Structure 1
Amino acid sequence: MSSRQQPRWTQTWLGGVRSAGVDLGYPGEQLGLPQEGSGAVAGFGRRIGALVIDWLICTWAIAQGLLGVNPAEQGWIPLAIFAAEYILLVGSMGMTFGMRLLGIRVAALGGGRPGFVSVLVRTLLLCMAVPALIWDRDQRGLHDRAANTVVVRM
């Protein structure tokens, strides 16, 4: 067979499964989510943007502005504020300030807001950063998989 009819193993390995011609569907399809619009899986840009907004709020507005902590001496304070913000806001409203500004929210896989234990697990893993950097084909990080959550558009 020629390489045009059947992909070589190096094409799959180097370019990913999609480059080999395997149709995996859209992100969220296996979860029963729509492809576009409200309830669809949120893209990386919005998620990272929301994370940056939340981090800036925790670092500058709260740690420096309200608590008066010197930037050189902040240590773990912004991370603790970040974790508290996530647990409080995602647990009560399903979203943080950054998520609200960018039109996304955290949802339980069954729909609705995630429970307290899910929010706690998700937040602790998110604060570790590494689980959030490993994604699956539905654009869910390990922190989302462990908590049975998904970030969707509003």
Structure 2
Amino acid sequence: MPDSSSRPNTFGQLPPSKWPGERLGLPRVGPSSVGRPWRRLFGFAIDWAIAIGVSRIFFNYDPAANLIIFVVLQIVFIPTIGASVGHRLVGLRIISIHGGWVGLWRPVVRSVLLALAIPALVWDSDQRGFHDKVAGTVLIRR
């Protein structure tokens, strides 16, 4: 008989992953493994720089425009090319944990929550931010 103290006994109580993505069936390293923090951050920085550039050209650098442009870029590019421009440049893509196309609602939910910043700072042992958990997505290496 297995030891009941080692098994989760309430909803949401899961043991930590041995590596990011283990519970999702993703490999430890290589293609399709969870994108590591430095790649995510670098991809985010590229996307934010693009948003600032567009804001500088069309809105004389308006902070509110920066954020709106950033969100719109995410919503447009995730369903069309599978990632934001910055993520593609650093070798990442966004997939649905349920398989298939991410659709339109997942990028919208993910991007709006990402714009709030706090959900992106709350990670689980699979290195998925709250915005990815709610949207049912994961950022993986290409």
**CA shift for structure 1 position 97:** 1.0
Determine the C-alpha separation between the residues in 1 that align with 2:97 and 2:82: 13
Q: 1:150 aligns with which of 121, 138, 141?
A: 138
Q: 2:38 aligns with which of 17, 42, 45?
A: 45
Q: Which amino acid aligns with 2:124?
A: D
Q: 2:60 aligns with which of 67, 70, 75?
A: 70
Determine the C-alpha separation between the residues in 2 that align with 1:23 and 1:128: 26
Q: What is the TM-score when the length of structure 2 is the normalising length?
A: 0.85
Range 111-120 or range 35-44, more displaced: 111-120
- What is the CA deviation profile of residues 13-69 of structure 1, one whole-angstrom value per residue up to 9, with x for unaligned ones? xxxxxxxxx974111011000111110000000001000100001102x1113x1x3
Q: 2:21 aligns with which of 21, 28, 50?
A: 28
SS in 2 for 1:150: strand
Moved over 2 A (4+): 110-113
Determine the C-alpha separation between the residues in 1 that align with 2:70 and 2:100: 23
List runs of 5+ in structure 1 lacking aligned partners.
1-21
**CA shift for structure 1 position 114:** 1.2
Q: CA RMSD in A?
A: 1.4
User: Does residue 119 of structure 2 align to residue 127 of structure 1?
Assistant: no
1:97 aligned residue: 85
Find the structure with the greater CA-based Rg: 1
List runs of 5+ in structure 2 lacking aligned partners.
1-14
Determine the C-alpha separation between the residues in 1 that align with 2:35 and 2:108: 21
Determine the C-alpha separation between the residues in 2 that align with 1:39 and 1:86: 20
Number of equivalenced pairs: 128
Matches within 5 A, 1:79-90: 79-90=67-78
